[in-house]
A and B are shown apart, each in its own frame.
Chain A
Amino acid sequence: MPHNAPTPILVDALSKAYGRGTTITPVLRDITFTVDRGEWVFLVGPSGSGKTTLLSILGCVLSPDQGRVEVLGHDVRRLDPHAASQLRLRHMGFIFQRFHLIRGLTAQENVCVPLTLQGVPEAAARRRAAELLDAVALADHRNKNVRKLSVGQCQRVALARALVTNPDLILADEPTASLDGQHGHAAMQLLRDLTARTGATVIVVTHDPRIQSFADRVLTLENGCLCSGEQPADRPDNDDSTAADSTAADSTLSESNAAEPATRRDSELQPILSLG
């Protein structure tokens, strides 16, 4: 996205409700905030507070009932389904909680999917996917069926898939929910490293307090309201961040890691950490 590009995210008096008639349940109420280019914003809050609905609206897969939402300069309410698809495909990267990689495809083929959908020639797409897989330390696994990859490796494939189109906006839904603390921290560090060059804006929905140190801002939602305003967070330095010395949340992480089963593959973390 060029430097004179519009504010990546502008939300003004957003409201959203589910249901009909007397069974209408408000999910988001009068939400207002903006996100600057390259900013990392975390959406936190208890289950049912509206985080995922908000992320879905920012991802143009849901439409707001009231208020104005502009994503990368586009008014979400005015986007038809095709235009929304194209906006997502060309300017957004998604990281899903359960990855949703395509079974039967290799890691490289999975990473190629957004490029294939864009119509990029296969050879070019494979080259780009190989670069990304190399960056996430999966060069040796690129021809493996994703069924045969560990959870941590799948997460890295999902990261590579989200980044393969050089998106302006990355939306991550509970990106560390399937990972233990150490791997979760490493995955976030990796995401930061990979987006540092592109300056992509990152929105993360999370319940995981151990990764909140990566946020420039934390927006807390409760009962559909942005109740706490903007809560600044300490962001760990790129060069010396570790799971042990960042925040109180990371201390909790260290403690919880100690109790985790030895079957988790700590060794696979090393190449990721070395990227930082």
Chain B
Amino acid sequence: MWTLALKTLLEDRGKLLTALVGVVFAVVLVNVQGGLFVGLIRKASLLVDNGEADVWVGHRHMHNVDFPRDIPRRWVHRVRAVPGVAQAEPYIIGHSVMTLPDGGFEPVLVVGSDPASLLGNAWRIVEGRSDDIRKPDGVIIDVCDADKIGHPQVGDLREIGGQRARIVAQSEGILGFLVTPYVFTTLERAAGYLQKPADKCSYFVVTLVPGANAADVCRDIKQCLPEVEACTRDEYAGWSIDYWLKRTGLGISFGAATLLGLAVGLVIVAQTLYASVLDRITEYAALKAIGATDRQIFTILSSQAVAMALVGSLVGLMVVFASQSLMSNPRAPIVVPWWLSFGSVTLVLIICLAAAAAPYLRIRRVDPAMVLQS
């Protein structure tokens, strides 16, 4: 049956090509749109995903990593005493303003980490070293934000919150969900830039001893410190993403565009299959006259639909990966996780099978007697 289905499909090359274009279009649109969405939304949890902390401890109502509320630093000792905790350090995140050499200014998001452990410090350093923040007035900025802050070089000076800051290293690709540039420095210097009291911090970032269960440690921390929230890295990343998803409706706009792509793909495949069936209506009538059952006819059509879906998806994914390597950049990263590709192929497969329904219903209405009357 497969031979019959595939060979008749290959015979109508023009129609096959049209259908494949539809499938490729749908797969590319879903993956690129989805990849852009994932890339964008993952920026919301960038610090959490890359901060190397297993557990985040913060204000009881914390909901987004970039918008913390102060907690007393002294509580860190109680966190360190919880079984399973290997290391717990205060961490500061806050909004300040950088003054530029030309008199201009730029809001920045200051990130202060413990200078000894450097837990939560900048990564992907392309110039200088991450531990250079220990140098006097040392800050790390990202090269992708250079245009916003006057293209500073390593060694250049800026002013943050009225205090001196020296660029000691540069990272590449640490761009947050907000357009505000990140500035990484030490805990104490960050507190200074943010005019934050010395006994306050934003979070405690916690690493665990090997084998410790993060959820159990979170529960123990909350028992020990009922005034705080403690959550695993994945949980806090999820919360930070949800914050933007729910408040911006971002998912709906990306989702609508993706659905539109799928709808276009569905229409093209359905139209092509239908036209192909109309072209061969007497052949299908002959098959029915010979004794083909409706189920066998559906098998032929669904085999054709599955073949189109699989070949189109394969070509589509190749186009997606080519687009990803050519177009993805830190500002607009295209992140295509495996589940997105798998999901898109599954969706396209279902759509193609659904598209086979219309021609199938048409063939069901075909009277096999027509081949004896022509």
Contact = CB atoms under 8 A, between A and B. Distances in A.
A256 to B, nearest CB: 24
Contacts of B1: 116
Interface stretch (B129-137, B154-162, B279-287, B327-335): B279-287
B4 A109 contact: yes
A161 to B, nearest CB: 8
A92 B372 CA distance: 14
B286 A105 contact: no
A96 B372 contact: yes
B291 A117 contact: yes
A100 B291 contact: no
Interface stretch (A55-63, A186-194, A242-250): A55-63
Contacts of B11: 103-104
Contacts of A87: 291
A104 B16 CA distance: 13
Q: Which secondary structure characterizes the binding site on chain B?
A: helix
A122 B292 CA distance: 17
Contacts of A82: 293
A14 B26 CA distance: 56
A61 B374 contact: no
A114 interface: yes
B4 A56 contact: no
Contacts, number: 87
Interface residues of B, number: 28
A267 to B, nearest CB: 29
A88 B289 contact: yes
A173 B373 CA distance: 9
Q: Which secondary structure characterizes the binding site on chain A?
A: helix
A89 B8 contact: no
Nearest to A102: B283
B290 A113 contact: yes
Interface in B72-111: none
Contacts of B8: 102-105
Contact of B287 (A98, A104, A109, A113): A113
Interface of A: 52, 55-56, 59, 61-62, 82, 85-90, 92, 94, 96-98, 100, 102-105, 109, 113-114, 116-117, 122, 161, 173
Given A85-B292, A88-B289, 15 more contacts: A56-B372, A61-B372, A86-B293, A89-B292, A94-B290, A100-B282, A100-B283, A104-B7, A104-B10, A104-B11, A105-B7, A113-B287, A116-B3, A117-B287, A173-B372
Interface of B: 1, 3-4, 7-8, 10-12, 280, 282-283, 285-293, 296, 367-369, 371-374
5 contacts: A62-B369, A89-B290, A100-B282, A105-B4, A105-B7
